[in-house]
Amino acid sequence: MLDDGSSIFSIIALMVLAIFQMVTLLSKGRVASPPSFRTLVVFFLAMALSEWISFSLALWLLALLSFRALREYLSLVDIRLEDRWGILASYLSIPCMFYLIHIEWYGFFIIAIPVYAFLLVPFFVALGGRSQGIVFSVGVLDFGLFFFVFCVGHIAYLLFYSARITLLMIVAITCAGWIHKALKSRPLRLKFLLQLAVVFPLCTGLASWTAIPMGHSAILGVLIPFSVCLGRFTLKELEEDLGIRADRLQPGRGRTIEGLKSYLYTAPIVFHYLRWFLKWGDL
């Protein structure tokens, strides 16, 4: 909406990913694709679709990503038999949520999960009719909804405003995430500084292309590494409890969540920062 003209950068990124995939296939296992590869393909595909074909296609592609992440999360956690209505309600919240983005109703989008879903899901869980363990079930479902529907929904809403800013954010987060992963056993401070060294020039250098004022670009350049560090630190602990380990990733056992790890914290932070300070829409 804010961009002037479509850019071909997302298509170039897609081509790079396609070449990388070819290399992976031809190398017969010597080069392995990182776990965030599929997620990245989905993001760039969504950006290319929204710029060149239609935004709603991209939106429902991201809804599918959100569904896959939530499904994987719910397959990993320990659920009770009585929670089935609650789980059904959480799945149904995905189309509702993305439909709200589709009709551009920001006011309802922002409260749909924290107000209505968080009130309705406990009700549906209580319908199951067994009180033992209900507190944990509600907590588990609310957490999943918040991260895998609400936070992913923010990426989609950012894409609605500007594909360029989304592209910048995704690239920056991906770089920061890779650095974080490469420096596995180093102190958090070093990781942060190195991420800053990559992301800060990226944001400020592309300031004129994304049409974010220079000052805000600089702040974003600090905010993104900071929130990536925060998010990856938090989700590492959560993944450990869920039994996701990088050495035994399988489809359905942490591949999607591992790929989304860096984006979950950063996307809402960047989105709300920009929406507030650049005064998109009425607040």
Partner 1 sequence: MDALRTALHLFFIRPLLHLLFGVNVVGRENLVGLDRFILAANHNSHLDIFLLYSALPPCRIARTHPVAAIDYFSKPPWLFKAVQFLLQPVWIDREENGIAGIKEIQRRIDDGRSIIIFPEGTRGAAGELEEFRGGVGLIASRNPDVPVVPVYLEGPERAFPKVAPFPLPLWNHITIGPPQRLRGKSRDISARLHAHLEALAEEERAYRQRRMPEPHQPFVVAVIGIDGSGKSTLSRRLAGCFEGDSCFIGDRLELLKDGEPCAAQPLIANEVRKWVGRQAKSAKNLAHYKIPKLAELLLRDRLLSDVYRWYRPDRVFMDGSPLLNMTGWAILYHEDAFNEEVCARAMDILTGNHVRGKRDPIFKQFPELLTLRKLNLTHLHLPDAVIFLDVDPAICVERVTSRGEAVQAHENIEKLTKLGKAYDLVCDVVEKNRPVLRLTGEKSIEQLSQEAVAFIGSAKDETD
The SS3 of residue 78 is coil
DSSP at 268: H
Which of these segments, 41-49, 76-84, 107-115, 268-276, binds partner 1 (CB under 8 A)?
A: 76-84
How many C-beta atoms lie closer than 10 Å to residue 68's C-beta? 22
C-alpha distances out from residue 16 to 9, 31, 38, Å:
10, 15, 13
Q: Which of 11, 56, 84, 211 binds partner 1 (CB under 8 A)?
A: 84
Number of residues counted as binding partner 1 (CB under 8 A):
24
Q: Within a 13 Å sphere around the CA of 248, how many CA atoms are in the beta-carbon half?
A: 7
Q: What share of the chain is helix, strand, coil (3-state, %, to 5)?
A: 80, 0, 20
Q: What is the dihedral of CA 165, 264, 258, 49, to 10 degrees?
A: -40
72 is a site residue for partner 1 (CB under 8 A): yes
Which of these segments, 165-173, 180-188, 244-252, 273-281, binds partner 1 (CB under 8 A)?
A: 244-252
Q: Which of 56, 253, 273, 277 binds partner 1 (CB under 8 A)?
A: 253
Distance CA 10, CA 233 (A): 29
**Residue type present at position 120:** L
> How far does CA 167 lie from the centroid of its chain?
13
Q: Which of 26, 81, 103, 283 binds partner 1 (CB under 8 A)?
A: 81
C-beta of 59 vs 257, nearer to partner 1:
257
Q: What minimum distance in Å lies between the beta carbon of 209 and partner 1?
A: 37
Dihedral sign for Cα atoms in the order 212, 218, 222, 225: positive
In the shown chain, the binding pattern of residues 127 to 166 toward partner 1, with x for contact by CB under 8 A and - for none, equals ------x--x------------------------------
C-beta of 215 vs 243, nearer to partner 1:
243
Q: What minimum distance in Å lies between the beta carbon of 250 and partner 1?
A: 6
Q: Which residues bind partner 1 (CB under 8 A)?
A: 67-68, 71-72, 74-79, 81, 84, 87-88, 91, 133, 136, 241-243, 250-253
